[in-house]
Structure 1
Amino acid sequence: MTLAESDRERVVGELGRDPTRAEAALFENLWSEHCAYRSSLPLLSAFDSESEEVVIGPGDDAAVVEVGEDVYATFGVESHNHPSYVDPFDGAATGVGGIVRDTLSMGAYPVALADCLYFGDFEREHSRYLLEGVVEGISHYGNAIGVPTVAGSTSFHEGYEGNPLVNVACVGLLSPDRLVTAEAQRPGNRLLLVGNSTGRDGLGGASFASEDLAEDAETEDRPAVQVGDPYAEKRLIEANEELVDAGLVVSARDLGAAGLGGASCELVAKGHLGCRLTLDDVHQREPGMNETEILLAESQERMVYEVAPGNVEAVAEVAEKYDLGCSDIGEVTADGRYVCEFDGDVVVDAPAEFLADGAPLNDLPMTEPETPATDYDLPALADAFEAVVASPNAASKRWVYRQYDHEVGARTAVRPGEDGALLALHELADAGVDTADAPGIALAAGANPNWTACEPYAGAYATAVENATNLAAVGATPVAAVDCLNGGNPEKADVYGGFGAMVEGLADGCRDLSVPVVGGNVSLYNDSNAGPIPPTPTLAVLGTTDSLDAPGTAFAGGGTLLLVGGHDEGLGGSELLAEFGGTDAFPDLPGDAGAVVDALAAVAGDDHTTAVHDVSDGGLAVALAEGLTESAGAAVAVPSLDALFSEAPGRAVVETTDPEGVKAAFDGVADVVELGESDASGTLTLDVGEETVAYDHADVAAFRETIAAAMD
């Protein structure tokens, strides 16, 4: 990839001369789709990003929201898609490292990760190879740095065969007095580069992420993939904590896309300032690096700090304590220019804001997606149930999350495998706040590519509802969301049309839920020889709860089973149609999603509620199957196969000893249907129309081990 001719003309017009080699490379990377959002930025105004809890919204390294008295949470999400195809282990591992450093740059300590992974058809050996490498990379890095992975999703769809997606979210915690931003504050302050030494790995990563994957990407693009060192990251986490505690950091930005050039330029541009850097002073691990390599290498585990001149020595001492490199590389200036010297020559001299924010936006044509026709044939009940429950998308993901350390930090109260994760807020107790009710935060994340492949708008809207429902199922109320918007080549009108519909649907869904979207990431050009990926709106939602005592998804036995939200027979986007073929429009969206979520969260916290499980992948059939245990079963009646397998959003199965109380809670909000009773049989009996099937716990458990059986 080289600087486009139209961009070159714009740069020449601004500079009054041809750009130097280093300047051309900087513009190419900072004006890439990955950094400048040239095709997506015109669409992102659809999102609401403000609320009483939002402290810092979009535009910084991570968002900041208030989650308790004098407790802030940072929240961000990032993609590492192309690198994870070329090198699944290092690509996924460095994705974790990058989003954690976004957390550090705000002054926070990282406390939780969520990973959302998307691969091609599970039956393909290559998909399983990518799955194994990506999960190993995430677990290796996350476990080593001591940040628990507590939530996420894993999906399979043929559209990801040539271009998997790895989206990772991170939550951090801090007190208000520790808040740092990625905005330079004062001319005369020094810029320090702290962390690992700079090498040639990851060169051109931003531009690499802004073009379609080629057939030979696994070999030809390997140099564009960064190589991580989680033990250096752990030392950087602790050093950052000490620097912030001591008040030595004025502003900060992590080195990710476009390396030092991206981080330093964006830092000063955001503050409407400039800087003058001496690239020779950057600590390097490879001899003979030129100015372009030093500026654009995406070597990991590095941060740039703005530091008062009198504190440079103190920062260097902390860096040395944690065996990290530290270079005083330049000064913040008042003239607004981004200037770099190398080997005695000025190699970059451009307006910082023009370099960071001057990329022209694309005005691309869109083709509106069509609504699928209703055309399918239903299989027999037993065939349908066994195929859907055993499908990789609906089967147990335990093989994935058991490789992650989800308890490090002693916060995790509800672990992976439930609808949402819950984490304790020890900070409230430390601050002397009464924590008798054990308040905490909740996290859920994911997207269903079948939904948005069916209808991008409705599927994305449903993604918002489903993630909020996951939080409500554990008694939490959503307060903020971040999104990772993944799409194919936006220069194709049908692909861009699907992407635009997805953005609109997600924005409308979050708005109707009163959940501000406080940050995110856009990843386009996810195309390969296999074609474009489905529009994929990964959403991570952060919530708060007054109690960590949440109902699980497993039945207790001896209660009434209710379907909150009622039956729906729309099969569009369902796992049933993915398994057996056919098409259908996406099911109806809930009339008042926010009211449904609020009511469900209240019901989940009721003493009479013994289990709650949202209805999503695989529909009601899978929700019931996942409630089965060796000592708890159920006898359930459902009017039709369509109703059993519909994945209409905003619904949940509730096991309760007070069915009338649940019905009263949803009166005027949503329909509530009695499904049957739970018992101590360990058997699930389904009466559907004129068909009846019964499966004991061992049968269902065996169906659900599809992934583990193939990967172990």
Structure 2
Amino acid sequence: MRPVTDAPAPAESTSVLDTVERAAGDPDRSQPWADLGLKEDEYARIREILGRRPTSSELAMYSVMWSEHCSYKSSKVHLRQFSEIPQETRAGKMLAGIGENAGVIDIGQGYAVTFKVESHNHPSYVEPHQGAATGIGGIVRDILAMGARPVAVMDPLRFGPLDAEDTSRVLPGIVEGVGHYGNCLGLPNIGGEAVFDATYLGNPLVNALCVGVLRHEDLHLAKASGAGNQVILYGARTGGDGIGGVSVLASETFDADGPAKRPSVQVGDPFMEKLLIECTLELFAAGVVAGIQDLGGAGLSCATSELASAGDGGMHVELDKVLLRDSTLAPEEILMSESQERMMAVVEPDDVAAFLAICAKWDVEAVVIGEVTDTGRLEIDWHGERVVDVPPRTVAHDGPVYERPYARPDWQDGLQADAAEALPRPSGGDELRATVLRLVASPNLCDKSWITDQYDRYVRGNTVLAQPSDSGMVRVDDESNLGVAVSTDCNGRFAKLDPYLGAQLALAESYRNVATGGAVPLAVSDCLNFGSPEDPAVMWQFAEACRGLKDACLELGVPVTGGNVSLYNQTGETAILPTPVVAVLGVVEDVTRRTPTGFEAAGEELVLLGTTREELSGSEWAHVVHGHLGGRPPALDLAGERRLAALLADLVGVASSAHDLSDAGLAQALAESAFHRGIGATVSLAEVHEDPFVALFAESTGRVLVSVSADALNELLARAASHDVPAAVIGRTGGEDLVVEGQFTLPVAEARAAWTATLPAVLG
């Protein structure tokens, strides 16, 4: 298929085109600004900026670009503190950070890695398959736009109760959408989460992460510079899907009966995206791209205004040259459409022919729709008539900024006073055994193979670790075996109990999970999912989480490279648990020497790193057994986490396995480690805690279960001492049972059967 450069036929319309000239001549014309999600003062500000009323096309652009999803108008004042974190990392520097499509980190040997996590929550409730699929597609294009080849994806998910009727609707569709799109692209899904809680009923969270690899010299940025350079739109044609989609839908609260607004959800075509990826990478290699931007939320409105604003400040576009799937679309609809699999490139005139030829090779349609100017204006014409004439920065970057009121809610003190440590707990061996079985089979802790088996985790051949390992790991370089590890984590219950500490705990767990495999944590991306910003209690949670994350990043020495904010996640008056998902990326010098998660052999010593305290509030035990949420989350020693991560890097080649302790504590870590190869273990709890129940189920932080050969035990203990990390020998691997001395014996096969049965029993 040859690139198309001819204009499509004009759309038939009985309405009079709303031009800039007409807008200046009829200032009192009524406009549907409220229906487009704008506030009265926002509309007034647009008129002030332009010195007239906006045209309908301009109104469409401002409405989507000033939406909560695109403008971060309620969160900007809190996100700015992330710039206080030094951008230098211990292994190199950040090559691109906040404000770009995705953060880019130097990992050595001339390689860089880009990664980012974003949300597609509300569209995935309205249409689970396409909402989740296009969430994957959008984050992949963000990574591609940085000049990187996407190499892996991850999917942190949150659902309502597993047995809820609506969960049976949204969960299969979301998983199918994630798997279908990622599998068709040939990208391994190397990890994520699936968490169930009543607050997510009617408002599931679909967060999507992508990792990409590039050489330093291949970095590309989103800017339109060089007057006379051509603006080319390429990829799929523009249709009516997604008009007002994520940009408007993600800025609204759901009512009790469903979404308050139901614009068309985007429809994805992963095969088109695969062609777009390969085509774009060849365009980069040919050196014919001067600037690039993907089209995601807000579509052409975003791409044109952001490219112009980040460049020389001017662009002229002939909108009628955009290739359409639906010739009846009006200019406003074309500007708002969020049709997928589209990219916009800035190309020097002498390179246009080569650019179009490469697109033709890949059967990707491409059309020149405009050029870069030095006017400082974004000017858009429709069949020769001017429909947009705006300062691009006012659309893309200078939207409203709200300092929304926030206050610690009155109920917070009572919530924290209701400690789970006072709840009835099992006291004998039989009760402890039954509790282990109940927890391993609980929805949040059970085997997630029903989900992950729908994903190809090993396509491309560079996956080193994948779910259920603590982190996902991929090889970057075939010769040196340089690689990266990534983990995503968040315990929303902890964040509800203390949002400042909850965000830090999410970071610490993700940081620790990356370290258990032997990686050195380098950088953070976040996806901050919260309820309505119009609720002062929710805004307090958000502000505290941002402050906590910033302080923890400073302590751990990892920068925030970028991320996403998703607000209005609530149904009626019920907000979701505050869910600040934190992704941590680490570098691995040699992936062949990584540390596995589960037991590798019998006859090895078991060592528990860290200290166990009576910390049960917000725990999985309190949640599953008592349906309880209250108290204070576990204490956090960030300096200790940093020492632990350094020790784990030092134990590569010494330790045979390492598994983080988090949900359900030591009991779950022992079970999951045993499930890896069916190898049992015998442990004594005397060195862990005086109370066997606390020893098994406390969720104290900074702990890792390590197995080590008898010959290497003293070496491991010596290295732990040198890093000032507590270490206790608690048992040995072997046999077919999990034996807790003086308490109970539990066959690994019995525990595994309970662990694997839960999701299939409900989902089929």
> Shorter-chain TM-score: what band?
over 0.9
Q: Look up the match of 1:557.
A: 602
Superposition TM-score, scaled by structure 1 size: 0.95
CA drift at 1:414: 1.8
Contact 1:561–1:678, Cα closer than 8 Å, also in 2: yes
Q: Are residues 1:339 and 2:379 paired?
A: yes
Q: Look up the match of 1:613.
A: 659
Q: Look up the match of 1:180.
A: 220
Structure 1 residue aligned with 2:726, among 672, 681, 688? Answer: 672
Give the direction of change, closer, same or farther, for the CA distance of 1:152–1:558 in structure 2 (3 Å limit): same
Q: Are residues 1:526 and 2:569 paired?
A: yes
CA drift at 1:101: 0.6
The C-alpha deviation readout for 1:166-195, integer Å capped at 9, x for no partner, is 111111111122211001221111110000
Structure 2 residue aligned with 1:579, among 608, 617, 624? Answer: 624
CA drift at 1:676: 2.5
Give the direction of change, closer, same or farther, for the CA distance of 1:530–1:642 in structure 2 (3 Å limit): farther
Contact 1:512–1:594, Cα closer than 8 Å, also in 2: no
Structure 2 residue aligned with 1:502, among 526, 536, 545? Answer: 545
Q: Distance in 2 between matches of 1:575 and 1:395?
A: 12
Q: Are residues 1:479 and 2:519 paired?
A: no
Q: Look up the match of 1:569.
A: 614
Q: Look up the match of 1:654.
A: 706
CA drift at 1:539: 1.4
Q: Distance in 2 between matches of 1:670 and 1:495?
A: 39
Q: Distance in 1 between matches of 2:553 and 2:720?
A: 21
The C-alpha deviation readout for 1:243-271, integer Å capped at 9, x for no partner, is 00100111100001111111111111012
Q: Look up the match of 2:436.
A: 385
Structure 1 residue aligned with 2:635, among 588, 591, 598? Answer: 588
Give the direction of change, closer, same or farther, for the CA distance of 1:663–1:368 in structure 2 (3 Å limit): farther
Letter in 1 for 2:434: D
Give the direction of change, closer, same or farther, for the CA distance of 1:506–1:418 in structure 2 (3 Å limit): same
Contact 1:92–1:166, Cα closer than 8 Å, also in 2: yes
Q: Distance in 2 between matches of 1:394 and 1:229?
A: 33
CA drift at 1:274: 1.4
CA drift at 1:378: 1.6
Q: Look up the match of 1:622.
A: 668
Q: Look up the match of 1:37.
A: 72
The C-alpha deviation readout for 1:476-534, integer Å capped at 9, x for no partner, is 00111111111110110111111111222222222222111111011111111361111
Structure 2 residue aligned with 1:156, among 196, 211, 216? Answer: 196
Structure 1 residue aligned with 2:251, among 210, 214, 223? Answer: 210
Letter in 2 for 1:178: D
CA drift at 1:222: 4.9
Q: Distance in 2 between matches of 1:221 and 1:228?
A: 21
CA drift at 1:242: 0.9
SS at match of 2:317: strand
Q: Distance in 1 between matches of 2:433 and 2:598?
A: 22
Contact 1:163–1:527, Cα closer than 8 Å, also in 2: yes
CA drift at 1:659: 3.5
Q: Distance in 2 between matches of 1:523 and 1:136?
A: 22
Q: Distance in 2 between matches of 1:578 and 1:670?
A: 33
CA drift at 1:104: 1.3
Contact 1:86–1:225, Cα closer than 8 Å, also in 2: yes
Q: Distance in 2 between matches of 1:119 and 1:675?
A: 38
Matches within 5 A, 1:32-181: 32-47=67-82, 48=85, 50-51=87-88, 52-181=92-221
CA drift at 1:216: 4.7
Q: Look up the match of 1:252.
A: 292
Q: Distance in 1 between matches of 2:131 and 2:120?
A: 6
> Which deviates more, 591-600 or 566-575?
591-600
Contact 1:414–1:420, Cα closer than 8 Å, also in 2: yes
Contact 1:475–1:600, Cα closer than 8 Å, also in 2: no
The C-alpha deviation readout for 1:628-661, integer Å capped at 9, x for no partner, is 1465211223332133212222211111233433
SS at match of 2:562: strand
Letter in 2 for 1:589: L
SS at match of 1:613: strand
Q: Are residues 1:540 and 2:580 paired?
A: no
CA drift at 1:385: 1.6
Q: Distance in 2 between matches of 1:215 and 1:364?
A: 25
CA drift at 1:384: 2.3
Q: Are residues 1:421 and 2:463 paired?
A: no
Q: Are residues 1:599 and 2:646 paired?
A: yes
SS at match of 1:628: helix
CA drift at 1:422: 1.9
CA drift at 1:16: 0.8
> Which deviates more, 159-168 or 392-401?
392-401
CA drift at 1:626: 0.6
Rg comparison, structure with higher value: 2
Give the direction of change, closer, same or farther, for the CA distance of 1:452–1:250 in structure 2 (3 Å limit): same
Q: Look up the match of 1:452.
A: 495
Q: Distance in 1 between matches of 2:497 and 2:446?
A: 21
Contact 2:191–2:467, Cα closer than 8 Å, also in 1: yes
Contact 1:634–1:676, Cα closer than 8 Å, also in 2: no
SS at match of 1:53: strand
Contact 2:516–2:645, Cα closer than 8 Å, also in 1: no
CA drift at 1:603: 4.5
The C-alpha deviation readout for 1:281-322, integer Å capped at 9, x for no partner, is 000010211000111100000000001112222222222222
Contact 2:640–2:725, Cα closer than 8 Å, also in 1: no
Contact 1:111–1:147, Cα closer than 8 Å, also in 2: yes
Letter in 1 for 2:672: E
Matches within 5 A, 1:254-293: 254-293=294-333
The C-alpha deviation readout for 1:61-81, integer Å capped at 9, x for no partner, is 111111121111111221100
Q: Look up the match of 2:62.
A: 27
Letter in 2 for 1:95: G
SS at match of 2:132: helix
SS at match of 2:254: coil
Q: Distance in 1 between matches of 2:598 and 2:467?
A: 14
Contact 1:198–1:297, Cα closer than 8 Å, also in 2: yes
> Which deviates more, 483-492 or 580-589?
580-589
The C-alpha deviation readout for 1:134-169, integer Å capped at 9, x for no partner, is 111011000001111112111111111011111111
CA drift at 1:25: 1.5
SS at match of 1:666: helix
CA drift at 1:415: 2.5
Letter in 2 for 1:484: C
Q: Distance in 2 between matches of 1:70 and 1:669?
A: 31
Give the direction of change, closer, same or farther, for the CA distance of 1:393–1:631 in structure 2 (3 Å limit): closer
Contact 2:118–2:139, Cα closer than 8 Å, also in 1: yes
Q: Distance in 2 between matches of 1:319 and 1:541?
A: 35
Identical residues among aligned pairs (%): 39
Letter in 2 for 1:13: E
Q: Look up the match of 2:696.
A: 644
Give the direction of change, closer, same or farther, for the CA distance of 1:669–1:455 in structure 2 (3 Å limit): farther
Contact 1:376–1:584, Cα closer than 8 Å, also in 2: no
Question: How many residues are treated as equivalent by the alignment?
Answer: 699
Superposition TM-score, scaled by structure 2 size: 0.89
Q: Which runs of 5+ in 1 are unaligned?
A: 430-434
Q: Which runs of 5+ in 2 are unaligned?
A: 1-34
SS at match of 1:128: helix
Letter in 1 for 2:734: A
Contact 1:198–1:299, Cα closer than 8 Å, also in 2: yes
CA drift at 1:11: 1.1
Q: Distance in 1 between matches of 2:540 and 2:77?
A: 13
